[in-house]
Every structure is written in structure tokens, then in C-alpha cells.
Structure 1
Amino acid sequence: MRLALAGTRSDTVRVALTGLAAGLATLAYLAALTVIAIPTVNGGGRVSPQYRPALIAEAGLRPGVVIVLVLLTVPVLALAGQCALLGAPSRDRRLSAIRLAGASPGQAVAIAATETGLASVLGMIVGVGAYFGGRALLHRPDADGRLPLPTDVLPPVWWIVLVCVGIPVLAMLFAILQLRRVAVTPFGVVRRTRTRAPLPWSGVLIAVGLVITGSVMPLERQLEDESRNSGVLLVVLFVGLACATVGVVAGTGWISYATGWLMHRFGRRPAALLAARRLMADPWNGSRTLAALLACLVFGGGAAGVRSSFATQFAADQESYERSNPESGIIELRDTDFYFGAFNLINVAIALGLVIAAGGLIVAVAESIVSRRRAHAALVATGVPRSTLAKAMLWQSLVPAAAGIVVALAVGAALSQSLFGDEVVQDGFTLAVPVPYGDLVLLGAGAVAAVLAVVGVGLLFLRASTALEELRV
């Protein structure tokens, strides 16, 4: 840690970002464990009336809150691991000097991973302090004694200890995973790339995920013991979602290579040709940098589809009631605002996840520019304008991101339809569940805007990385 903080401002930013990510992940996990630990006072109604929000008062709705909180930690932990790749020149020289002094490649990677772990420990301590401080500040019962948040509940101590130990360990594992293609030599730090083209096997994973997710409802009808149903169905649903999400993320490699080949075949401008060769040379870069963003979009597309299914079901129930009771007039069967309010909270969580994923993307783009500083300086020295390099980076980032965003949203919407079906059947009529094109377009536009903003921020590093002095580094 002393060596890390003794470097440049980039090293300090790397440590600070890693600590921030660890602190946010600690808060999210402790909040999820607190929701799990809420006791159900009214056993028959499965309700805890000491809380005002129904999302935590009703036991049946709490798993959704827990799932959202846990999913928020995915882009956070990805950001912590991505920070390990923020390859400032001073950090590269420090690791190379350690190798020159006799350290093995594994020891050099272990030092970088330990730096991530120590920074995560500092962030974890801040997160735990914010959790307990927030409990005291937010404990505000109303006149009836009801609480806005479960500040009267504390998870078991061993759960808290598990989170405090697990967050730094997970951050270190993410860092090691990100550094697996990095070779630390006595003469510098190089990034290894694969030479073979990727295969579209990820489509098989997506298909398997859709099939598994589609089997959840039939499996629920087959199982009779409800006490065992929930655990089995949750495991099946999780496996299906995981297969589809991994397929989307891994498929970005094939998408990058395919779009790079098309740009190389039909492109005529220097920026497009430069971007095409880079995409073909390292097509898996998109899978590494866009993983958290695409995972959030799969979840967002699925949430939009589930919202559409709920809305169609409510409309079908209302129409069925009005047909069977024409003399009763217009009577609302349900308080739909409650359900759609819950979906709005999920959308807020998805937006927050996209913001965090964009932070990780900024780190990845900045690291990509800095790690290629010698190649960029050589291009500028031979007469390539910096504006051409900037356009090439824009093409390289935007093309696979746009294709991956479309695939992720489509897979998310398909997952919701395979889970709930594409139509609602009532006595005497059937309503088709519409595809939520508006919500999907809004999510996609937000993600593309985030990618463009990230590339714009990353280009701020381009001028410093194309200085001709970099040729002598």
C-alpha cells in the first residue's frame, strides 16, 4: 500500500476507486442481510406491521428487495476488479522493478492483487461505519411507532463478519481474474491477447438459459410440496438467468470480432480501419470491459418484460370482472400503484447499477489508452492525427457496445416471456403480452449515452499518452 500511494495520482485514484467500490458493496450486502433478518410478527399473514413500506413489511416481497441489492453488487465488484488494470506508468515500472529484483510472475500479480485487497479493507471499514451510522441516523419511527427502514434489526454477528472478510477476498479474486492476461516482465508490463478467433458458442448458453427459465412455471405446477418448492425453483431460475447472462457477456467477443471483420472488409477511412484491426486483434476486450453493463441490461430488459406481464394480467383480471359483473360499474380490483411503485424502485436500482458499471468502463477505457501509449505515440510520430486516433477509439468502443446492448435487452425480454409466457388466458378471451419497446429503447439509449460519455472522458487521457516522449519510455 505504501508503494501504491507513493506513485502518481493515477495510483492514488486506483486505490480510492477500489476502496469506494468495496464500501458500496459492503453497504449493499449488509442491507440485504438486514432485510433477510427481519422477523415476521404476524405469522399467519406473513407481515411485519412495524414497518411503513410494504416492500419490507410483507414477507413475500422481501426476496425481491434482497435480489435487487445483491445484483447491485455485481457492477460494484466488477469496478473493484477493473481498478486493478488501471496501468499507470509508475505502477508498471514498480512491478517490473520487483520482477527485476527476483520476484516470480505469480508474486508480482499477488502484489497487485494484495494492493486491491488492502484498499478493499479500507473501503469495507468505511462501509461498515456508514452502515452502523446510518442505522442511528435513519431510526425515525412515526407517531404510530412504525419505521421507514428496518433499523431495529441487526443481522447475526457471523453474517457481518462473513461480509467483512468476503468483500476484500472477492475484490482480490476479481483483480486476479482481470490480471490473468497480463504478463509482468523485468522489462515492462504487457497484455497478452489470444490469437484464435472466437466462436459463437455463447449462443448455446443463451438458448440453454432461456429453456431453463421457461421450465420454472411447468416445474412449479409439477411440484406439490410448497415448503420445498421455493428453494428448488429459485435455484433453477438462478441457473437459467446465470447461463443467459454469461452467454450475453461472452458473446461480446464474437460480436467484436465479427463487426471488426466487417469494418475491415468494407471500411475506407483510417479511423474505421484502425478500430477494425484492434477489434480483431483483441475481440475479448469487450467482454471484459462491458460485462457489468451488459449484466445490468439483461436484468433491466427482464424487469421491463415482467412489468409488461403484470400490467397485462391486471388488465385481463379487470376485463374479466367487468364482463362477469356488468351492473357493478367500474371498480378497481387492485391497487396497481403499489406494484408499479415496486417496479419503479427496481428501475432506480438498475439505473444505479448502470452508473456504477459506467465507472468501471471509464477505468477500462483509461487503462486501454495508457497501456497502448507507446503504439499511440508511434502512430502520431508517423503522421497520424490525434483526431483519427480519437475516432478509432470511438468506433472501437461504440460498435461492440451497441451490438451487445441490443442483444442483452433482447435476451432480458425473452427471459421474462419464457418465464411468464407471451399471453394471458382468461375465461372467454386471451390477451397478448406486448413487448415493452418503449422501456427497452429507453434503457438502450441510456446505455449508449453512458458509453459515449465514458469514451469522452477516456479521450482526456489521449493527449498525454501520445506525447512523443513515450517512445523513449
Structure 2
Amino acid sequence: MSTFALWRLFHRTSFVGARQSQNDGVRDHTGLLAIIAFASATAIFLTVLGGLHGFIWRASPDRTAACFFNASHCTAHLPVSENGDFYVTLAIFACVLLIVPFTALAGSAARLAATRRDERLAALRLAGATTSQVTRLTAFEAVGQAVIGAIIGIAGYFAIMPLIMLLNFENQRFTFEQLWVGPWALLGTVAGVAVLALVSALLTLRRVAITPLGVSARQGSALPSGWRAVIFVAAIVIGFMLLNNLNMFAGAGTVVVYGMIFAIIGGCFLLLNLIGSWVITAVARARSRRPKNAATMIAMRRILDNPKRAWRNVSGIALAVFIAGITSVCGIFATVDGGDPESAMMMHDIALGGMLTLLFAAVLAAVSSGIMQSASVFDQADEYHMLILEGTDARTLRRARFSEVLTPLNTVIIISAGCSMFLMLPLIGSAISEPAMLIRFVLGIALCYALVSIGAISANRTAAHLDTISRRRDD
């Protein structure tokens, strides 16, 4: 049987039976969510890449990246931006920061599609499909969703571009030529998204390929150990000491100092992924010992069942809060009247770039969180349905789902905000208590919180739809 014929069988309503027939709308909904996630990630990635290209264009004598990084490749010597190297460095730093939420979102999309695919793949294996047939089918569907989403994301990139052209950097606006990344970058992005989706989908086949009944066996994840906290605290303390003694490296040049600042802040952020699931586990354990109500008990047990999943639901917010702290500091410096127009311009541009990075990171994190929450709803549908049959009311389950999201969210915001301010302290000193800076910081956190809450509400609506389907099936 060809892969296309198997794909048609895979999507036939009658193949899985009455239960699958009732879930067809939900299945299509998950496919649509995956496409939206791929589209969002692609659009924002290309927009940020376009900004980097714009700064390189301004700093390159012949308007090419090859000339900027290697003077021997220059074919012309046009006027360039005086601070071009500095702006390119900041743009690269922003791109590096956004790689984490971008890959998390694309991975979430692939994981969501795979979550709903496992049961049907297992049914195909029981019906006689071979491992190679299931593998080809998975690759076909995963790549198809990724490519469709990436193409929509390219359209989103063109839609966002005019808005970016309204912003002033270096006292001038970007042009289309500066923000245009070129056809090869578009093709490379589509291919990259497709490969990421393919790898994520094939990794989920291990359960189905080993045995068709593998998807029925659910095991809790191993709880993280406390050594993660020791490593994280040590790294934060070392980072603080280095930032507090940057004058020791002043002789190495401004670029080296800025590079060290970015490396220390970025490295400490990356270590949040090491400690995140451990802290969430500790909080859930503490709350599960003395739960206030049934909803809290259910939520904490769900978190302890898979703390890594709980962390993935809100991990993107950690970066957004980190960026919110950096942006609030830059905003303070941008408002200081130093009498130097060039310095004022640079501080203004850094603050504006930080706000854009915060916005992009928050949107990526919110979409990723919504996707992951929806995937969790589908994973837990049978368990919540059993709770309903045992007499648990729908209101309690809704509160449990919110608590399952908000508990890790509150935890990660506290940790990220505290670490961000702690690392900023050596750089800004007493300015950390400035009301304007604190207001900017709080507003950035509020933006992240609001966007993730929207995802939680959407996931609860999906869960309500699943509950309705379950009741109809039992009738």
C-alpha cells in the first residue's frame, strides 16, 4: 500500500470506529493548532532575521553579510553606520535569545500533532501496518503540517515588515531592501521547520514501533534531583561576581566587555532550564501535602506526574521575564539626559530593540504554552473523564487545569525576575529601585502573564469540548 493510500485510510472516519468519529473535530483542531504554531514561529523568526540583515546591510560597505564578516569579500566601499558593529552584535544577541522560544514552539507543535497521532498509529499497527509504513506516514503528515505552517508564516513575515519599517533605529527607518532576507533564507527556514517537525515526530514513534500497545502504557517521569539547584546557585553567584568586576576586563576592549555581559546573562538563563523542573517539583510537593481543595490536589498530582511537561508549558516565559528585566534597565538609561546625542540615540535604540525582543519572546512563549496546554488536555482526557464519572464536578476540573498552569507560571516568574534583577544589580546599582524601571519591569511581566493566561483559557475551552464529546459517547 502506498503512503498516500495509507494516509487516506489513516484519516477515514470509519477506520478507528465510533470513538474516532466523535473525535474527528478535535483531531482536525489539533492539526490546525500545529499549523498555527509553525506559522507563528516562522513569521517571528524571519522578522528577527530581517532586522539582523538590516543592521548588517547598514554596516557593510557593499551591503552584504560576506563583506561585513570578511573585508576581502567586499566589492564596493559605500558609507556605513558608525556604530554598525555594535548594532549587529546586539541584533545577533537578540536572535540567540529567541532561538530558545522558537525551537520550543516548533517542538510543541510537532509534539501536539504526535500526541493525537500515536493512538491512530497504534491502531494501524494492530491492523497489520509495518513499521516502515507507519514511519513514512508519520513523516508525510508531520512535514506537510510544518510546510503549510511555514508558508503561512512567510506571509506573516511580509505582513509584519511594514510595521517594522515604521520604527526608527540610528535615527532612520528600515527599508524593504534592508529587511528582505532573500529567497534562499525563506527556503532554508521552510526546510529547517520541516526537519524540526520530522525529527520530533519520528522520536515519538519509538513507543509505537516497539509495540502497538506501547501508547497505552503511561509511566510517570523521574523526578529531578537537587544537584541541579546547587549548580544553578553556583553559576548565578559566579556570574554576579564577574559582572561586579567588569573593570578588570576593560583593557580587552568594549566589544569583549559587552560580549562577556551577554554571555553571562545568556548562560544563566540557559541554566534556568536545568533548575526549572526541580523548583516546580518542590513547589508541587509542598502544596500537595496540604492541599486547600480537591482542585489543588488534582493539579499538584498532575504536575508531579510529569514535571518536565509542566516546565515546558511555561519555560518560554522565563526568557521573556529575563528580557523584561534587561529592557526595563535600558529604558532607564534611555531617559537620562547625558548631553551626548549619540549615546542618547544608542540607549533609545537598545530600549526599543529590547521591547521588540520582549514582545516577540512573549508571543512565542504564549503560543507555545497554549499549544502545550492543549496537548496536555488531550493526554489527560481519559483521566479527567474518569474523574467526572466518579462524581467530580466540571468546575473543580477547570480550576485544577488553571492551577496546573498557574503554579508553574508563578514559580518561573518569581525565579526569572529574581535572577534578572540580581544579575542587573552590579550594572545599575541603586537605579534598580527607580520607580520608572520597576513599572517597566512589572508591565513586561504582566504582558507575559496575560498572554499565557489566554492560552490557559483556550485550553480549558478545548477541555470543555472534550468533556462534551465524552458525555455523548457514554450516552
The answer, yes or no, to whether TM exceeds 0.5 is yes
Aligned partners of 1:272 and 1:392 also within 8 Å: yes
Structure 1 pair 454/166, CA: closer, same or farther in 2 (3 Å)?
closer
Is 1:204 matched up with 2:231?
A: yes
Structure 1 pair 30/348, CA: closer, same or farther in 2 (3 Å)?
closer
SS in 2 for 1:416: helix
Q: Report the Cα distance in structure 2 between the residues aligned to 1:396 and 1:131, rounded to whole angstroms.
A: 34
Q: Report the Cα distance in structure 2 between the residues aligned to 1:407 and 1:220, rounded to whole angstroms.
A: 28
RMSD: 4.3
Q: Report the Cα distance in structure 2 between the residues aligned to 1:398 and 1:119, rounded to whole angstroms.
A: 30
SS in 1 for 2:57: coil
How many angstroms does 1:380 deviate by? 0.6
How many angstroms does 1:66 deviate by? 3.8
SS in 2 for 1:86: helix
Aligned to 2:390: 382
How many angstroms does 1:296 deviate by? 1.8
Aligned to 2:365: 357
Aligned partners of 2:50 and 2:179 also within 8 Å: no
Aligned to 1:68: 94
Aligned partners of 1:75 and 1:353 also within 8 Å: yes
Identity fraction in percent: 19
TM (norm. structure 1) is 0.74
Aligned partners of 1:212 and 1:237 also within 8 Å: no
| Deviates further, 390-399 or 115-124 | 115-124
Is 1:215 matched up with 2:237?
A: no
Aligned to 2:31: 12
Aligned partners of 1:374 and 1:470 also within 8 Å: no
Q: Report the Cα distance in structure 1 between the residues aligned to 2:448 and 2:125, rounded to whole angstroms.
A: 40
Structure 1 pair 406/268, CA: closer, same or farther in 2 (3 Å)?
closer
Q: Report the Cα distance in structure 1 between the residues aligned to 2:196 and 2:411, rounded to whole angstroms.
A: 30
Aligned to 1:327: none
Structure 1 pair 442/167, CA: closer, same or farther in 2 (3 Å)?
same
How many angstroms does 1:192 deviate by? 4.1
Aligned to 1:230: 255
Structure 1 pair 58/464, CA: closer, same or farther in 2 (3 Å)?
same
Aligned to 2:328: 304
Of 247, 255, 261, 2:285 maps to 261
Q: Which amino acid aligns with 1:353?
A: A
Q: Report the Cα distance in structure 1 between the residues aligned to 2:54 and 2:32, rounded to whole angstroms.
A: 33
Q: Report the Cα distance in structure 1 between the residues aligned to 2:208 and 2:282, rounded to whole angstroms.
A: 27
Q: Report the Cα distance in structure 1 between the residues aligned to 2:192 and 2:115, rounded to whole angstroms.
A: 31
Aligned to 1:79: 105
SS in 1 for 2:175: coil
Q: Hey, which of these two has a bigger chunk of helix by percent?
A: 2
Q: Deviations over 1:203-253 (max 9, x none)?
A: 523541552475368567547464xx736963x445433432233233231
Aligned to 1:450: 451
Q: Report the Cα distance in structure 2 between the residues aligned to 1:232 and 1:255, rounded to whole angstroms.
A: 32
Q: Report the Cα distance in structure 2 between the residues aligned to 1:153 and 1:390, rounded to whole angstroms.
A: 44
Aligned to 2:274: 250
Matches within 5 A, 1:38-187: 38=57, 40=59, 58-86=84-112, 91-100=117-126, 101=128, 103-104=130-131, 112=138, 115-125=141-151, 148-149=174-175, 151=177, 162-173=188-199, 179=204, 185-187=211-213
Q: Which amino acid aligns with 2:416?
A: A
TM (norm. structure 2) is 0.74
Q: Which consecutive unaligned segments of at least 5 residues does structure 2 have?
A: 13-23, 63-67, 69-76, 167-171
Aligned partners of 2:35 and 2:148 also within 8 Å: no
How many angstroms does 1:201 deviate by? 1.3
Q: Report the Cα distance in structure 1 between the residues aligned to 2:117 and 2:297, rounded to whole angstroms.
A: 31
Of 301, 306, 318, 1:282 maps to 306
Q: Which amino acid aligns with 1:247?
A: L
How many angstroms does 1:20 deviate by? 0.7
SS in 2 for 1:215: helix
Aligned to 2:462: 461
Give aligned pairs, total. Answer: 430
Q: Report the Cα distance in structure 2 between the residues aligned to 1:471 and 1:437, rounded to whole angstroms.
A: 52
How many angstroms does 1:152 deviate by? 5.5
